[in-house]
Amino acid sequence: MTLPAPSLEHIGDLTVFVAAPIEAGNVTGLNSRGKRRIIPITGGTLAGPRLQGHVLPGGADFQIVVSETSADLDARYLIALDGPEHAGQHIFVQNRALRRGSAADIAKLVRGEPVDPAAIYFRCVPTFEVSSPALQWLTDSIFVGTGARFPDRVEISLFRVA
């Protein structure tokens, strides 16, 4: 028996502004397998049909660069919601992602040069922590996203798997 494929519900678009990467060097250990790179998050926006807000500075993307073509990303940051319905509420985001591309394109990204987003595979699986019962729906579903890295920011379209 083949079950129907899930559908995707667009919940919003994130723009996350970032500072220059901090190269922390090669790491070793049971769960580490590459070069540690930390990219500070300096702000951003969330725009969607059900949620609007801004990314607070102070988060970071804690990357493990596995090879010259791929990286395991783990971004953590806080979104302060806007608008009368959710004003004053926050969403904590942990966004795990895989980014891969040609060695030449990845090297351009690292140098802060623009790369056509179509040349880079960038997919993510965000999870959310909320304190408001009105936002509980963010913890009751699986979400996926597609992203693009630009010299000063990351853009991500987020979808709920329905």
- In what helix (H) or strand (E) does residue 103 lie, and over which residues does it extend? helix 103-110
Q: Which residues of the chain have pLDDT under 70?
A: none
What DSSP designation does 68 have?
S
Per-residue pLDDT at 48: 95
pLDDT at 86: 86
pLDDT in tens, 34-65: 999 999 999 999 999 989 999 999 999 999 99
Q: Convert 97-115 to b/e letters by CB count within 10 Å (16 or more is b).
A: bebbbeeebbebbeeeeeb
pLDDT computed for residue 33 by the predictor: 81
The whole-number pLDDT of residue 85 equals: 84
Domain ranges of the chain: 8-161
The class level of CATH for 8-161 reads mainly beta
> In angstroms, rounded to a whole number, what is the distance separating the alpha carbons of residues 140 and 127?
10
Write down the pLDDT at residue 19: 95
Helix (H, G, I), strand (E, B), or coil: what is residue 129? strand
